[in-house]
Every structure is written in C-alpha cells, then in structure tokens.
Structure 1
Amino acid sequence: MIDFTLNMILFKLFLFLSLKGFSNIYSGALADPNSTIRVQLWRAQGYLNQAVLTEFDDRAHYDDEIWMRDNRTIDFMIFDIEADQMASFLDEHNVSHKILIEDVRERVDDALVHTFPTRRYGQIDRTPRGALDWTKYPTLDQIHAYLERINKKYQHCNLITLGKSVNNKPIYVLKISTMNPTNKAILIDSGIHGREWTSVVSMLYFIDTIVRDFRHQPSYIKDRDWHIIPVLNPDGYEYSLNNDRLWKKNRRKVSEFCYGVDLNRNFEYNWAKQSSTRSVCSDTFCGRAPFSEPETQAFKKLTDGPRFHGYLSIHSAGTKVLFPMGVTSSDHVDQITMTKAMAQAMRGFQNYQFVSGDIHAMGKVGYGMAIDWMYFTKKIKHSYIIETRGQNGLDVLVPKEILPAAKEVHIGIMKFAELFNS
C-alpha cells in the first residue's frame, strides 16, 4: 500500500490550523481563496483488485472525496502533489487513469461567477421577491419567499412548517392537492446535502410547473397528494452558498473543531453500519444516534402522518436513477422497470446518459440512508433517487444548464407518476 499517511496528516494539520470548522480537507482547500493547494478530480478505471479497493477504503477514512464508485470505475479528488505517487500506484496495478478536472477550485469558481446570486461573486441578484431566476441558484430567503408567495396565490397549495433546523431555520413541506380523500400521497425531498444546489432548483421548477395549472394537469399528477420538501438541510444549503461550496452536512457542532452530521446517514435502517461514518469529523458522520438531528426528526414526523405510497429523493449530480440496495423480493422487477423508464425518459430530453440500477451496484455505498429507511422500514415499494446531470460528478452547472437540468428532473418525476398510476 502506498504511503499517503504522512501527506494526509500534514495537510490535515495545515488545514486544521488555517481553516478551523471545515470537516473535509478538500472542501477546506477549495473554500480558501488564498490556498496554494490545487485539487484535481481523477478517474481510475479497469479491473480494481483488492489492493486498489483497500487503498481507496483507507483513503475514505481520511475524508477524501470519492465522487463515484462502481466495480470498474472510481472518480476521486486528490491533491496535485500526490499525483505522481497515485499514478505510479495505479500503473503498478494495471489500472488506467486520467485527470478529469485539472483544478477543481477553478472549475467551481468559474461556474459560481455566473450562477451565484449574491455580491460575493460580483453580482447583485435583482430577481423580484417571491420570483425565481432559472439561470441562477436562489438564496434560502428567496426560496422561502417563493414558497410563501405560491402558498398565498394557489388554493391547492398548503405550506407547512415541519420543524426547525439546528440554526433555527424553518423546514418547509409544500402540500399540493385537490384534497380528494382518495388521493394517494407521494413524498419528494431535495437539498438533503447542502452542496446539491441543482437538486433544489429542480424541485422548485417541478413545483412551479405543476402549481400554475394544477387542475388541468394529467390525472396521474392532479389525483395525487404531493408533499414536497424543497430544502431538507437549510443550514447546509445556506452555508454552502456563502462559505464552502462543497459543504454537504448540517451545521451541528459535533466536537471542538468539527461541524455537521450527514443527514443521509442519520436514518435508522442500517445506521452506523459503516465504520467511517462514526468519525465525528468525517464528511459522512452519521450522528450520535438515529434521527439525532432536527432535520431528520422533521422528516420522520412527516412520514409518521399520512400513508405515503411513493417516495423520491432528488440529488445532484450523477445522472442516475436508483432504487434501494439489496432488494430481492418481487418488488425488484417493478423497480428495475420503473427506474429504467425514468432514466430513458430523461435521456430523451438532451441525450444526457442517465443510467439506472441498484444504488449499491451503482457505486453509491452508504448506510443509514433515507431511501433504505423508506423502503425497508416504512414499506414504500416505489422509493427512488434521481441524481441530476453534472460535470464529472460535480454540481457546478453554468447558467444555461440549470434550467435543462431541472427540466430533466421534471420529466423523470412525470414518468414516475405516470407509471405509478398504472
């Protein structure tokens, strides 16, 4: 095994001293505009033998960012000074490799200059209060103002406060319904990870599209009770907008220097099964107990109410449609059919290569996740994840791509609703 340990310790020490509060060494390097560290995104591809897999398992304990992983491919971030060692290691094991992004911070900043709606990046957003600009990512205040506006404007909308975040921000669910008692309920969430801005915009676009003329929507839309949580992690979303683009967790202070619980590791089913999630400074820290966080408690409170018949969780970015891991029952065939159809419909828009499959087989290994809890514990057969388009797994879309990405998610949800109806 190659010796990255000294490098990792030195860089962790440097970032610890200069960037207190960041739990992830790469997001810290990317957030500091004065940092001389260059972070790259690599792809390793080929037969991944046990030595290679062990290497990346060990690196995961140091909070390295594995962006995508399956049986033959790993996309990961790496410091530029590690490049020669990593290349030699992969060559030694006959694993092909290439650099997908030479400088991740440069790529992120380039996208932010055009899409970030605040003065931080030299732009003042002049979008009227309560309206949204589909070429920019909205602030949390803009999202809340928009939800409040449509709640007042449309009688089939009911905006409900589920609870408050760690930093006392409201967690809203928007119910869209004709109030027919025979309607089946569907739950959709987005923004469970702070940095996944495109997931939030996509959900807002879906809301905006259907509420404008809800009674004339297809029956598979209007004959449902839609419960939509646009930003499940408001603190993380706001912190990612204003401080650290790659921040994913909530803003719970978990130790003297570390912040945040990964809300998508805080659900009860298979909670803390993965050892790396128990480290308080890990980017996937699962919390002190299942549902320890007010955000996941709010989610659970909602699901303990009406009986949900379908569940979607919107993430960014991966161009995937996924169903829960380890499904072996008769549900499996229906889940394959559903996710394939959704991915195919989304591909048909602009030919982005959306793929579908088991979340574990597609490289999204995780425990304590919402999708597994909803399927295995709450017994919701049709529980799926939609991952939006991105650039090499990064949610850094330029302005002209934001609306098309949102439209793809809209198409996927419409296909889900259509097949769910049949």
Structure 2
Amino acid sequence: MKLLREQLFYLSILTTCFLPLLAPSAGADVKPQKENYEPDYTTYHNVSSLETEIQRLTKRYSDFIQLNNNYKSSAGQSQLVFRVSNFSSIAGSLKGKVRIFLSFGEHAREFFPVESMLHFIKNITDGVSQDTNKTEGLKFSSWVLNNFDIIIIGMANPDGRVYIEKTQNYCWRGTESGVDINRNFNWNFGGQGSSSNPLDGEYRGPHAFSEPETEVFQNISSIFVPDAFVSFHSGVRHIYIPFADSESKQGRRFPANKVLLVRLARHISRSSPSRLFKFGHAYDLTGYTADGTSFDFMAGHAKIPFSLAIELWEHRHHRGRSCFDEFNPENEDLQVGLAIFEWIFEK
C-alpha cells in the first residue's frame, strides 16, 4: 500500500504537466462536413513533420530519448514509440524509477493531444539544454528524467492521420480502414459501447486486437510492466477512471483501488489554472459506454495499478456537425492552449 501511495503521488505530479487542458463523440458516422477552420501545417504538425521532429530530438538528446521504430501501422508507418529518461551516468539507472506508459493519437481527428505530447517533450529537452543549473526549467527536467522511466506512443494511429491529410475529412476517427483502435482491445470487446458497422465511428474491427496498431499496447504493457498508463484524447475536459464498458456499468464493476484513482483524478482536475476537469466513470459523464478501450484493458487485463483516460481540450460553444473545431483549437490559439504547461512549471 505504501508503494501504491508513492506511485500515486508521483503520477499525480507528472500527469499535471500534461494539462494543456478532454471527446469521445458517441459513434456517429465519419463523413466529411463543412469545417469552420482547418489545420495550418505550419502550426500543427502533419505525420511527416512530427516524425522528423521526434527524430531530431532523439539525435540531439540521445542521453534522454530513445526512439523505437519497430512498431508499425497497417501501412507500415512508424507509431513513434520512444522512451524518455536519464540514460546517462549513475543517475541514469532505470532501477527504482516510476514507470509511466502514455498514449497519444489513438483517434485520427484529435490533433491536439499529439501537439501536447510534443510540447511536453520539448519542455523537458529545453530544460536540460540550458547552461545554468539554477533555472527552473532544468530543475523540472532533471526531476522528471531522474525519477521517471516513460514510454510514449507518440502517434498510435498514423494511417488515420495520413487519411485525413489526403482527404481533408476531419471527422475521420479510425484507422485508414475505419477501425477505432480504442474499441479494439480485449476488455468486453464487442459490447454495446462499440459498433460492428464499418461505417460507424466506433467500429471495433472483426475481433479483439485485429489491428497491428494495438499490438504495441500489448507488448509494452507486458514487457515494460508500467506503474501507470494514461490515454490522451480531446473534445471535452474529462478524466475517466476504469471501467467504461457496458458490462461494468451494468454490474457496477470497479477497480480495487478506485478510491486512489478518484483521488488522483481529483488532484489532476484541481491542477488546471483555468477551469476544473470533470472526473469519474465515462458513462456517468458522457451518458454512454465504451467497450474495448485501451485504458480499461490496461486496468482489467494488464493489471496496471493506475490507468486513466484524459480528454484534454474542448470547444466550449461548439455547434453543428463540423469536426476539427470540436476537437482542436484554432491555429492561432494552439500555443495559448499549450502554454498552460508554463503555468504548471512555475508552480
């Protein structure tokens, strides 16, 4: 119990550093709609520029970032899996560090979480690149790198993003073939909180783990044995604790450490300087269930002590059927959304 409490403490601090800001939209179709605004790729990153930037950071900060390009999508695109820690000197020993597993880009239309990931990594690397050891940036970076061993899936669904780039269909949620990988996990797979219709946004695929994109989650959870997992999304400002599936809702099934998970979610919510996040079970907050999700799988099957899904950003006055603005800020507002990190650093 003492170890779990320590892990809760460390995770609560680390996770607040990811708070630029959390949506699932219940399984509507994913046909293109008239958009109020679209991404400017001199502001947002497309798949190619994101990969280039991660590779650049890996080469420049090889003592702190290790890129693994072995995990590929159906079309052979890298899922940009990389590890972040201090790999140099005695301080670089990974033994005893809190192991964190983070996932971004599961849903193609949610650009903002991926930008948040890159912003976080740049803040860490900018900190260690500074000349003086008296800067707050260096203190924060050193604390993260010396106390945590973090594995990140930077782009879980690259084929879906490439599909959006080709078609300008900003409502597209799944892989290029339309599978929602966040309904493809072996936790109550096939339940009512997913769809068997390939034209539906929550199409779960033919069977659990049918998609190459979900293999990385299985492998990392079994090999890395994380202390915590967080799946990042956008569309509302919610923090979800397990479980989100239909069977759990009906049977009121909860993780054994629900009290600690609620405490963690509350702490993260209160860390936001602008507006609190709502937190709890997804079906209580959204009115619908979600079956076969990554964070339920991590909690239920992989037995990771702390598993959350966090929805990072919402358009407070969204109306109509447009999609990009439902999940992502305008180009000129992107850095403002990400700047919340600076506030957290100052605290």
- TM normalised by structure 2 equals 0.76
| Kept after mapping to 2: 8 A contact 1:233/1:250 | yes
Displacement of 1:212: 2.5
More contact order relative to length (CA 8 Å, sep ≥ 6): 2
Secondary structure of 1:28 counterpart: coil
The reply to whether residue 28 of structure 1 matches residue 14 of structure 2 is no
The reply to whether residue 152 of structure 1 matches residue 76 of structure 2 is no
* Corresponding position of 1:49: none
* Corresponding position of 2:46: 139
Distance 1:189 1:281 in 2: 25
| Kept after mapping to 2: 8 A contact 1:188/1:313 | yes
* Corresponding position of 1:20: none
The reply to whether residue 202 of structure 1 matches residue 116 of structure 2 is yes
The reply to whether residue 404 of structure 1 matches residue 323 of structure 2 is no
* Corresponding position of 2:311: 387
| Kept after mapping to 1: 8 A contact 2:108/2:158 | yes
* Corresponding position of 1:358: 281
* Distance 1:302-1:328 versus aligned 2 partners, 3 A rule: closer
Displacement of 1:307: 1.2
* Corresponding position of 1:238: 162
Q: May I ask how many residue pairs the two structures share in their alignment?
A: 285
Displacement of 1:147: 0.5
* Corresponding position of 1:296: 214
* Corresponding position of 1:175: 83
* Distance 1:227-1:276 versus aligned 2 partners, 3 A rule: closer
Distance 2:293 2:232 in 1: 13
Displacement of 1:275: 7.4
| Kept after mapping to 1: 8 A contact 2:265/2:279 | yes
| Kept after mapping to 1: 8 A contact 2:255/2:299 | no
Secondary structure of 1:361 counterpart: helix
- TM normalised by structure 1 equals 0.63
| Kept after mapping to 2: 8 A contact 1:390/1:396 | yes
Displacement of 1:221: 5.3
Displacement of 1:399: 2.4
Letter of the structure 2 residue corresponding to residue 178 of structure 1: N
Secondary structure of 2:271 counterpart: helix
* Corresponding position of 2:21: none
Secondary structure of 2:80 counterpart: strand
Distance 2:263 2:156 in 1: 28
| Kept after mapping to 2: 8 A contact 1:205/1:410 | no
Distance 1:226 1:164 in 2: 20
Displacement of 1:171: 1.4
Letter of the structure 2 residue corresponding to residue 148 of structure 1: Q
Displacement of 1:196: 0.3
Letter of the structure 1 residue corresponding to residue 257 of structure 2: D
Alignment map for 1:407-418 (pairs within 5 Å): 407-408=339-340
The reply to whether residue 342 of structure 1 matches residue 250 of structure 2 is no
| Kept after mapping to 1: 8 A contact 2:242/2:254 | no
Tell me the alpha carbon deviations over residues 111-146 of structure 1, each in whole angstroms, 9 at most, x when there is no partner: 21xx421xxxxxxx4xxxxxxxxxx21111100000
| Kept after mapping to 1: 8 A contact 2:227/2:306 | yes
The reply to whether residue 371 of structure 1 matches residue 295 of structure 2 is yes
Letter of the structure 1 residue corresponding to residue 264 of structure 2: M
* Corresponding position of 1:11: none
Candidates 168, 174, 188, aligned match of 1:270:
188
The reply to whether residue 247 of structure 1 matches residue 175 of structure 2 is no
* Corresponding position of 1:166: 74
| Kept after mapping to 1: 8 A contact 2:225/2:304 | no
Q: Which structure carries more strand by proportion?
A: 1
| Kept after mapping to 2: 8 A contact 1:162/1:298 | no
Displacement of 1:353: 4.1
* Corresponding position of 1:128: none
Tell me the alpha carbon deviations over residues 267-320 of structure 1, each in whole angstroms, 9 at most, x when there is no partner: 001111127512232221111111110100122222221110011111012111
* Corresponding position of 1:286: 204
* Distance 1:25-1:313 versus aligned 2 partners, 3 A rule: closer
Distance 1:410 1:378 in 2: 34
Candidates 189, 193, 197, aligned match of 2:103:
189
Secondary structure of 1:321 counterpart: strand
Tell me the alpha carbon deviations over residues 174-219 of structure 1, each in whole angstroms, 9 at most, x when there is no partner: 1011242221210111110000000110111111111223573263
Displacement of 1:222: 3.1
Q: Gaps (5+ residues) in structure 1?
A: 1-23, 31-104, 118-124, 126-135, 253-259
Distance 1:190 1:207 in 2: 13
Letter of the structure 2 residue corresponding to residue 301 of structure 1: N
